[in-house]
Structure 1
Amino acid sequence: MKQALFLLLDEFADWEGAYLSSTLNQSEFWTVKTISVEKKVVSLGGFSVLLDYVIGSEPKDYDLLVMIGGNSWGNSSAELLKFVEEAFNKGIVIAAICGAVDYLAKNGFLNDHKHTGNFVDSWKNYEFYTSADNYLKKQAVKDGQLVTANGTAPLEFTELVLDLIAFDTPENIEKMMFMNRYGFYNYCEKYGNPF
């Protein structure tokens, strides 16, 4: 079974990973686990989450790292930086949204990738960000083993991640995302009743 680790910091944005985590976790081929720099975090919506892993105790083999945005990505934890760096070095599929993309920019992880984020101008003082020419004004961008998205793009983010990991056929992913975007009745009108 493949494993996705969702990296959640305190004050994480509940909505940014909801579509992706629930899709993956309902699959017989994927399992979803959570990881952070501490054992418990609280989301922006007030949900308290007891993490499956504190960084350093995670399994060495996993298939997908999902970095969910929020208000705490100014984190200067050496363990967090080492963990993210190791994921890049191992070639693990990495997906980052909102504030998590800011973190990647600040630490130089975006320099070899086409990418997007909340606002490239907010990164101009980042010493290790040297890739403004690779910034694309899109909701979400997939390049190599990396997906980036701004904080208003949880659906686009989900779709690109599912595509990158070959979660299902492109047609089935498109149908799934259509229902999430436009609702059940519009889905039925276009594709027929799935039940």
Structure 2
Amino acid sequence: MTENVHVAVYDTFVDWEIGFAIDHINKPLWHKHPGRFAVTTVGVSSDPIVTMGGMTVVPDTTLDEIGPQDSAMLILAGNDIWNTEQFTPFVTKARDFLDAGVPVAAICGATAGLATAGLLDDREHTSNAAEFLGGLGGYAGGHLYRDAPAVSDRDLITASATAPVHFAREILERLDVFGPSVLASWFKLYGQRDPAGFHELMAG
């Protein structure tokens, strides 16, 4: 049975931050179990949104139509609305997922939205910088901040805006999309820009 990986979409959604992750989730090449996952976009409503790159996206479904039981993961891209009421429904849904033990992956401004809701207070995490989160109201997780491109702790994945490939690696590993050797070669190619990774993938 196909499992949905839900990608939250909202105005100012930062396209490129999750591209490596969703492309390789949706494309069955090198997958351990081709066809296991499908990327499904989810909005607060069915109205089209406009991404940071100017693309118009019509959500496949809405937040009120999904729950943790319907999903393998919720992915939250960066945005310029993380500190507004527009982002609140997505933070609420992220809390529901984490409470149910279903993973959430957040990058860039989405990490700040989770931080203000206290969702980073008891998990190791990262973001664009410690200072980016440090002054936020509602955030008390500074002692668990890690200066790393991406961090996974239990069911939460967080990443810096400058680390989309590291973010994707954590997501692909958590979902068990690739086998360990394939994931290592994939990261060698995309994360380390080493062409040997491509030849390893093609040989496999």
Instruction: Please report the TM-score for the alignment, with normalisation by the length of structure 1.
Output: 0.90
In structure 1, which of residues 178, 191, 195 is the aligned counterpart of residue 188 of structure 2? 178
Aligned 8 A contact 2:185 2:198 in 1: no
Give the Cα separation in 2 of the matches to 1:57 and 1:192: 38
Query: What SS does the aligned partner of 1:56 have?
Result: helix
In structure 2, which of residues 165, 172, 179 is the aligned counterpart of residue 155 of structure 1? 165
Could you tell me which residue of structure 2 aligns to residue 74 of structure 1? 83
In structure 1, which of residues 37, 43, 48 is the aligned counterpart of residue 56 of structure 2? 48
Is structure 2 residue 119 aligned with structure 1 residue 112? no
| Alpha-carbon shift at residue 175 of structure 1 (Å) | 1.1
The code of the aligned residue for 1:56 comes to D
5+ residue gaps, structure 2, are 29-34
The code of the aligned residue for 1:30 comes to F
Give the Cα separation in 2 of the matches to 1:167 and 1:129: 32
Could you tell me which residue of structure 2 aligns to residue 87 of structure 1? 97
Cα deviation, 1:44-82, whole Å, max 9, x if unaligned, reads 111110011222123552111111112121232453343
In structure 2, which of residues 111, 129, 138 is the aligned counterpart of residue 128 of structure 1? 138
Give the Cα separation in 1 of the matches to 2:197 and 2:203: 9
| Identical aligned residues as a percent | 24
The code of the aligned residue for 1:94 comes to V
Could you tell me which residue of structure 1 aligns to residue 110 of structure 2? 100
CA RMSD of aligned residues (A): 2.0
- Cα distance, 1:193–1:122 mapped onto 2, change above 3 Å: closer
Query: What SS does the aligned partner of 2:152 have?
Result: strand
Instruction: Please report the TM-score for the alignment, with normalisation by the length of structure 2.
Output: 0.86
- Cα distance, 1:47–1:134 mapped onto 2, change above 3 Å: same
| Alpha-carbon shift at residue 179 of structure 1 (Å) | 2.2
Give the Cα separation in 2 of the matches to 1:143 and 1:192: 28
Deviates more, 1:51-60 or 1:22-31: 51-60
Query: What SS does the aligned partner of 1:142 have?
Result: strand
Give the Cα separation in 1 of the matches to 2:24 and 2:3: 13
Cα deviation, 1:62-115, whole Å, max 9, x if unaligned, reads 111111112121232453343222111111111100010010111100111000
Aligned 8 A contact 1:3 1:62 in 2: yes
Deviates more, 1:17-26 or 1:33-42: 33-42
5+ residue gaps, structure 1, are none
